[in-house]
Chains A and B, each alone.
Chain A
C-alpha cells in the first residue's frame, strides 16, 4: 500500500511566513509522491493546529505526517503526541525546522522559500521509511542520590526525605554545610548563618531517610534514568564514625599543624581536625598527607588520648555501590583565586584579603574569634572593598557573580558595626546590583550608615609608606582617585567548582561556556539536564545567593520526587538494532560502544544489543562494516532518503507564489 502523507507548514505568526512563502511550500509539497494532503496554517502547535492533524489522520487516512515549523528540539514531542492522539504511532511523524535554520537566518525571501522546500522534501522522503516504534516503560528505583551537601544539597535531601524516599547524600569534605558554614552573617537580613543552617544540618544527620556519607566521592555512574548504579568511594577517615562521640580530646593533643582550608589559610589546624565545633558529623578526620603516624609511623598520640578507641590508622578506602532512580547534583561553586590579578596584590600584601577570608575573620569561631583585625591584631581604620574581581571581566569571567554587591554591603555594615562607626569604608564598584527581595532596602540602609561608594574598577593596589593605596578612577566625577586604606577585600568571582569537569564526566552531563553545569533549558528547564534523571541544585548550575540556591534545590528535588512517585518512566525506543542475518560477528562494535550495551552471542556468532543500556548514540552503526547495526529512527534507508530529499533540487530560482502551476512541480531531480 502506498503511503498517505500529510504535510503541515507552520507560519509561526510572521516568524516563518514573514520570509517563507508558506502556501507556496505547501503547494509544492502536495506535488511530492505519496503526499495526500499539504496545508499551511498560522500556528501548528496551537490546539486548532494539532486538531487539524488529528482530523486529517482520520478523514484522509494518513499514515505519515510531516510538520515543518520551529526546531524539533522545541516541539517534536508536541506533534508526536498529537499524532498519537490521532491514532498514529508517534514515530511515523517527522518534524523539520524551517524557522531557526531557515526563515530566521536567511536574508532573501526567495532563497528562504527554496531552502524550506528542500527541508520539507527531505522530511517527506524520510518519513516514508519510518517504522512504528514503541517506548518502553521501566521501573524507577525509589532511592535518590544527592551529591554535595552545601545548603542546596541539604535542602534537596530534606525535601526528598520528607516525601518518604531514601536519600543517599554524598559529600566530599569531612562535614556538610558547604560555603554557608563559613559565614557568620547572611545578607540582607543579617541573621546569623549558623542559626539558620545548623538546624538544617542537624536535621540531615537525624533524618532516618537520609543516609549521609561525608569524606566520600562518586567515582562511577552507570545505567540510565530510573536505574542508576553509583559507586561511592569512601575515603578513610581513620576515625570510626560509629564509635567517636565527637568529644574533641584528640584535637588539642595532635602536635602536627598545617594551614586550615576552612579558615581560608588564615590559621592552622591539626593533622586530626574538624572544620568547626558545630560540624556535622562531629567526628574528626585525619589528614593522611601530614599525619606523622600515617606518613612516618611515629606519634600515635590521638589514639592514646581517645577515650573511646575510635582512632584506626589502618583504615582503608572502600567502594560502595548504590542503586538509585535519579541523581541530584549540588556540588556548588568555588571562589576564584585572585592571585593572577597581580595588580591587586593578593599574596604580596598581607592586608589584602579575599571575601571568603573576610567571612572567616568575621566568624565568631574563626581564626580571630570574630574580631575584624589586621594581622598585627589592630583594628583597621579604613577598608577598601573592590567589587567584581574576576567577574564581568572578559579576561576572567564575563558573567556577573550575582552575590558580590550584596555581600560587600554586608561587609560594609559589619565593619561599621563591629570595628566602629568612625571606620572609613570605601566600595569600588561598577554597578550596584541589588535585585533580590529586600536587597535594595539593604543597600539604602548601608548607604545611610555612612559608607562611601566610588564608581569604577580600580587599576591597582599599591603600598606606600606601609599603607595600602587603592588607585583608580571615579567615573562619576571623572577624576583619578588614590585612596589610602589599612585593609583591602577582594570580592572574587564565584566560579565552577574545581572538580566540576570531572563531575560532569562521571555523570555524563555538559558544562556551559562558563563552566557551570548546563541545564536542559535556560528558562523552562533550569533544574534538569540533557541526561534524563540527573537534576541540578544550587550554584553548580550558575552563581546564586542562598535564597535562589535553596529554591533551585527544591526544584531539583521536586523533579526527583516526581520520578520516584510515579515509579515508572518511558524510555525512548530509538536504540540500536543488529540484524542477526547480516552481522558477521567481527565484534568491532562491542569495543566501540561507550555504554557496554553490546554482548556477543557465542551460539549464533553475532553481536546483540542490550536495549536497556543502549542510548542510541550510533557509534556501532557508524562503523559496522556489514551494515548490520542500525539505529532505529536513524537508519541508513532513512538517512539516505533524507539526503536525497535535501539535494532534490539544485539552486534554481523559486517559482513565483502567485503561480500555483509552477509551484506544483516537485522540481527536477
Chain B
C-alpha cells in the first residue's frame, strides 16, 4: 500500500436514493473511511460533467456519482442520462492523462445502507491503490 497517501473523494449523490442510503448507513452506524465528501444533488441527471472535471482539478483524487437503480430514478430517467455522460467522460479522461478509474458511477438504492458503506470503502481503497492524481499538477486550467 502506498503508505502515506490518503485520497480525497468527492461524491455526487442523488437526494432520493443514494443520499438516503448514506443517511441510513449513518443511522445504522456503519463506519466508513473518512476520505469521502458528499455533495447532494437532486438527481444524478443534473451532474454536469463539468462538476466532475472541476472536482478532479480542484483536489479530488476520485469522483463517485451515485443514484437510483435503473428504473427507480425519482425523475424517471435522470440516471440513464448520467450513465451516458459518465461513460463518455470515462472515454475522454485518459486523453488528459487522468485514469478512467477515477470517475465511477454506481447505483445505491434508498434502502441499501450497507451497500452504500461498502461502495464508499471499496472506492476509497481503489483510489488509494491508484495513488495521487498526477495529472493535476500538469493540467492547464
Residue B105 is within 8 A (CB to CB) of chain A in the complex:
no
CA distance A622 to B54 in the complex (A): 14
Residue A389 is within 8 A (CB to CB) of chain B in the complex:
no
- Partner pick for B23 among A71, A617, A640, A644, CB 8 A cutoff: A71
The smallest beta-carbon distance between B115 and chain A, in angstroms, is 10
Residue A119 is within 8 A (CB to CB) of chain B in the complex:
yes
Q: Is the CB of A639 within 8 A of B22?
A: no
Q: Is the CB of B109 within 8 A of A513?
A: yes
Q: Which residues of B contact A574 (CB under 8 A)?
A: 42
Residue B90 is within 8 A (CB to CB) of chain A in the complex:
no
Residue A144 is within 8 A (CB to CB) of chain B in the complex:
no
Instruction: State whether A619 and B48 are in contact (beta carbons under 8 Å apart), knowing that A105-B30, A651-B8 are contacts in the complex.
Output: no
Residue A139 is within 8 A (CB to CB) of chain B in the complex:
no
Q: Is the CB of A647 within 8 A of B48?
A: no
CA distance A88 to B84 in the complex (A): 40
- Partner pick for B22 among A100, A508, A511, CB 8 A cutoff: A100
Q: Is the CB of B43 within 8 A of A617?
A: yes
- Partner pick for B29 among A105, A508, A619, A640, CB 8 A cutoff: A105
Q: Is the CB of B34 within 8 A of A101?
A: no
Q: Is the CB of A71 within 8 A of B10?
A: no
Q: Is the CB of A106 within 8 A of B34?
A: yes
Q: Is the CB of A617 within 8 A of B26?
A: no
The smallest beta-carbon distance between A666 and chain B, in angstroms, is 15
Chain B proximity mask over A618-644: 1 for CB below 8 Å, otherwise 0:
110111000000010010100110111
Q: Is the CB of A100 within 8 A of B25?
A: yes
Residue B74 is within 8 A (CB to CB) of chain A in the complex:
yes
Q: Is the CB of A115 within 8 A of B48?
A: no
Instruction: State whether A619 and B45 are in contact (beta carbons under 8 Å apart), knowing that A100-B22, A510-B72, A643-B10 are contacts in the complex.
Output: yes
Q: Is the CB of A104 within 8 A of B45?
A: no
Q: Which residues of A contact B141 (CB under 8 A)?
A: none
Chain B interface, number of residues (Cβ within 8 angstroms): 52
Q: Is the CB of B26 within 8 A of A639?
A: no
Q: Which residues of A contact B76 (CB under 8 A)?
A: 508, 594
Q: Is the CB of B59 within 8 A of A650?
A: yes
Chain A proximity mask over B63-86: 1 for CB below 8 Å, otherwise 0:
000001001101111100110010
Q: Which residues of B contact A642 (CB under 8 A)?
A: 39
| Interface members, chain A 113-129 (any B CB < 8 Å) | 114-115, 118-119, 122
- Partner pick for A618 among B32, B35, B42, CB 8 A cutoff: B42
CA distance A642 to B39 in the complex (A): 8
| Interface members, chain B 1-44 (any A CB < 8 Å) | 6, 8, 10, 15-16, 19-20, 22-23, 25-27, 29-32, 34-35, 37-43
Chain A proximity mask over B41-63: 1 for CB below 8 Å, otherwise 0:
11101111011001100111000
Q: Which residues of B contact A650 (CB under 8 A)?
A: 8, 59
CA distance A100 to B29 in the complex (A): 8
Q: Select from chain B the residue with minimum beta-carbon distance to A508.
A: B76
- Partner pick for B51 among A505, A643, A651, CB 8 A cutoff: A643
- Partner pick for A105 among B20, B26, B40, B111, CB 8 A cutoff: B26
Q: Is the CB of A115 within 8 A of B26?
A: no
CA distance A112 to B37 in the complex (A): 12
A-B contact pairs, 30 of them (CB 8 A): A71-B19, A73-B15, A73-B19, A100-B25, A104-B26, A104-B29, A105-B29, A105-B30, A105-B32, A106-B34, A108-B34, A118-B37, A119-B37, A510-B74, A512-B111, A518-B110, A531-B74, A617-B42, A617-B75, A617-B78, A618-B41, A619-B81, A631-B42, A634-B41, A634-B46, A646-B10, A646-B37, A647-B10, A647-B37, A651-B6
9 additional contacts (CB under 8 A) given A108-B34, A615-B75 = A71-B23, A105-B117, A122-B39, A617-B43, A619-B46, A622-B47, A623-B81, A643-B39, A647-B37
